[in-house]
């Protein structure tokens, strides 16, 4: 059974009619960039690989948190140590701030960060830094005295409710003021803290940073949320995005010149549309749907024709997997590298969303998720696999082209056509698939895949050819 699914968006929420005309259409609103999440790579490692990152077609590289952090397990550098391992450590210690200054023992110091930024500038790659103003280290006594002093004392650093564990994540008061997973909740509404935090943000900007990922963003209150007793206004996001100054300090550059997005994981009673007034958001539910499709090798196993989100796709960061789905509960870790790659080609070939490629650990397998198990090391080679590089560049080449999604062979084959300028073909199954008569918007003629040189043909708007297992193909109109 063959299906063609018209998804040519001319504007937010407007579904345009599909027509496989012979003239290239360049009228659609599109996102054209992709992000490499260099998860747990050190600043030195990112700098050393910047040329490869640029040549692989990434507009952005996202670092792990750069802030001063809790030194766990005697400073061991394992990604995730197990009892009896010769090297101790955990990757998540950099998510436990003890101060908001550039540099930590896991990723590198300020000079190394600056050298990374210099490398990024050389290769025209923009850097996004993962920032986390929401909480401090579980051991809050490890917070540095200079931070306590700057915010008016240790007790002023936290919400009045900041040490009360969250029991109901759908309760906005608990969610935005309570202790999450043992991490005490910072009083992000304290003007002294806001000033201290924005000093850190502006220092990052002074070195050339071009964007931020806000970790646990849904745990920081919006203006409409209940107030903690130590807060007078929920205005953190107005300050963080430069709408307001705090104590004479303001975001150093216009927010619209930066790529800012928030980790607003979807659940009941999450105010996605209000968060979207300040920044782009993560499409966590869409990622789950895509993984279901990949796991079942069936496009119809879940709906990929909507974003599972109230916010338009142009303002969503999409992924096949994130560091949380891989490293926390290993929800996505069982998918093979080939399956992840097919999912990436689908996301990157699409008209909207800003796809983020998560770099898995070097040496990782489906039996050994941690691989070589070292913080600071480069991830595996998948970020620069020929099919990944090809679709990253295809995305830019298809700028302005509306998408049409078609499937064949019981959902094992997916086509993402972009106007009649090009198309991505993806086999998400472990068996070869021969398609005959797959609906397409490509003009009639013979086509050769840009990666493997495989031939396909189109006659009367129907595409035919054979796809190898877990392989993607990119066709360009002549």
Positive or negative, the CA dihedral 253, 92, 155, 173 is positive
Q: What does the pLDDT read at residue 343?
A: 98
Catalytic residue among 215, 338, 382, 387: 215
User: 287-298 pLDDT, tens per residue?
Assistant: 999 999 999 999
The per-residue pLDDT of the chain, averaged, comes to: 94
Q: What does the pLDDT read at residue 101?
A: 98
User: 383-392 pLDDT, tens per residue?
Assistant: 999 999 999 9
How would residue 228 be classed by pLDDT, with cut points 50, 70 and 90?
very high
Q: What does the pLDDT read at residue 21?
A: 34
User: 435-468 pLDDT, tens per residue?
Assistant: 999 999 999 999 999 999 999 999 999 999 999 9
* The model scores a pTM over 0.75: yes
Q: What does the pLDDT read at residue 17?
A: 30
Q: What does the pLDDT read at residue 5?
A: 45
User: Above 50 in pLDDT, residue 19?
Assistant: no
Q: What does the pLDDT read at residue 14?
A: 24
How would residue 478 be classed by pLDDT, with cut points 50, 70 and 90?
confident
Q: What does the pLDDT read at residue 28?
A: 83
More confident residue, 103 or 84: 103
User: 164-176 pLDDT, tens per residue?
Assistant: 999 999 999 999 9
User: 315-370 pLDDT, tens per residue?
Assistant: 999 999 999 999 998 999 999 999 999 999 999 999 999 999 999 999 999 999 99
User: 394-442 pLDDT, tens per residue?
Assistant: 999 999 999 999 999 999 999 999 999 999 999 999 999 999 999 999 9
How would residue 27 be classed by pLDDT, with cut points 50, 70 and 90?
low
Domains and CATH numbers, the chain: 31-283+353-397 (3.20.20.80)
32 is catalytic: no
- Torsion angle of C-alpha atoms 109, 114, 119, 121, degrees rounded to 10: 150
Q: What is the mean pLDDT of residues 21-30?
A: 56
Which percentage of the chain shows pLDDT scores above 70? 94
Q: What is the 3-state secondary structure (H, E, C) of the chain?
A: CCEEEEEEEEECCEEECCCCCCCCCCCCCCCCCCEEECCCECHHHHHHCHHHHHHCCCCEEEECCCEEECCCHHHCCCCECCCCCCCCCEHHHHHCEEEEEECECCCECHHHHHHHHHHHHHCCCEEEEEECCCECCCCHHHCCHHHHHHCCCHHHCECCCCCCECCCCCCHHHHHHCEECCECEECCCCHHHHHHHHHHHHHHHHCCCCEEEECCHHHCCCCCCCCCCCCCCCCHHHHHCCCCCECCECCCCCHHHCEEEECCCCCCCCCHHHHCCCCEEECHHHHHHHHHHHHHCCHHHCCCCCCCCCCCHHHEEECCCCHHHHHCCCCCCCCCHHHHHHHHHHHHHCCCCEEEEECCECCCCCCCCCCCCCCECCECHHHHCHHHHHHHHHHHHCCCCCEEEEEECCCCEEEEEECCCEEEEEECCCCCEEEEEEECCCCCEEEECCCCCCEEEEECCEEEEEECCCCEEEEECC
Catalytic residue among 263, 382, 403, 415: 263
Q: What does the pLDDT read at residue 26?
A: 47
Q: What is the mean pLDDT of residues 64-81?
A: 98
215 is catalytic: yes
């Amino acid at each position: 059974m063959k299906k063609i699914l018209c998804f040519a968006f001319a504007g937010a929420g407007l579904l345009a009619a599909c027509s496989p005309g012979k003239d290239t259409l360049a009228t659609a609103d599109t996102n054209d960039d992709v992000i490499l999440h260099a998860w747990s790579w050190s600043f030195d490692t990112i700098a050393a690989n910047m040329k490869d990152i640029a040549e692989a077609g990434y507009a952005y590289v996202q670092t792990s948190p750069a802030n001063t952090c809790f030194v766990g397990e005697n400073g061991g550098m394992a990604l995730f140590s197990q009892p009896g391992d010769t090297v101790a450590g955990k990757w998540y210690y950099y998510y436990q701030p003890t101060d908001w200054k550039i540099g930590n023992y896991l990723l590198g110091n300020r000079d190394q960060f600056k050298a990374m930024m210099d490398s990024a500038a050389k290769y025209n790659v923009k850097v996004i830094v993962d920032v986390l103003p929401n909480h401090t280290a579980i051991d809050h006594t490890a917070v540095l005295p200079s931070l306590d002093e700057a915010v008016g004392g240790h007790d002023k650093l936290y919400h009045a409710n900041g040490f009360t564990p969250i029991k109901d994540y759908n309760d906005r008061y608990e969610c935005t003021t309570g202790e999450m997973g043992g991490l005490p909740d910072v009083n992000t509404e304290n003007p002294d803290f806001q000033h201290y935090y924005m000093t850190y943000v502006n220092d990052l900007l002074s070195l050339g940073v071009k964007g931020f990922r806000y970790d646990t963003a849904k745990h920081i209150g919006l203006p409409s949320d209940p107030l903690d007793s130590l807060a007078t206004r929920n205005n953190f996001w107005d300050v963080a995005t430069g709408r307001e100054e705090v104590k004479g300090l303001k975001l150093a550059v216009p927010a619209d010149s930066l790529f800012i997005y928030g980790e607003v994981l979807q659940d009941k009673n999450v105010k996605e549309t209000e968060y979207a007034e300040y920044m782009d958001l993560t499409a966590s539910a869409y990622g789950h749907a895509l993984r279901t499709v990949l796991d079942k090798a069936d496009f119809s196993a879940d709906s990929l024709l909507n974003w599972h989100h109230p916010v338009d796709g142009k303002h969503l960061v999409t992924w096949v997997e994130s560091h949380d789905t891989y490293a926390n509960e290993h929800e996505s870790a069982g998918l093979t590298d080939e399956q992840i790659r097919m999912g990436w080609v689908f996301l990157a070939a699409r008209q909207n969303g800003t796809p983020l490629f998560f770099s898995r650990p070097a040496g990782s397998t489906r039996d050994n998720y941690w691989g070589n198990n070292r913080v600071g090391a480069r991830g595996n080679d998948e970020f620069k696999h020929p099919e990944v590089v090809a679709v990253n560049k295809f995305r830019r080449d298809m700028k302005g082209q509306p998408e049409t999604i078609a499937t064949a062979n019981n959902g094992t084959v997916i086509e993402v056509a972009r106007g009649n300028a090009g198309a991505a073909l993806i086999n998400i199954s472990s068996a070869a698939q021969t398609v005959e008569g797959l609906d397409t918007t490509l003009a009639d003629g013979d086509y050769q895949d840009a990666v493997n040189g495989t031939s396909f043909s189109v006659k009367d708007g129907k595409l035919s050819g054979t796809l190898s297992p877990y392989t993607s193909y990119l066709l360009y109109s002549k």
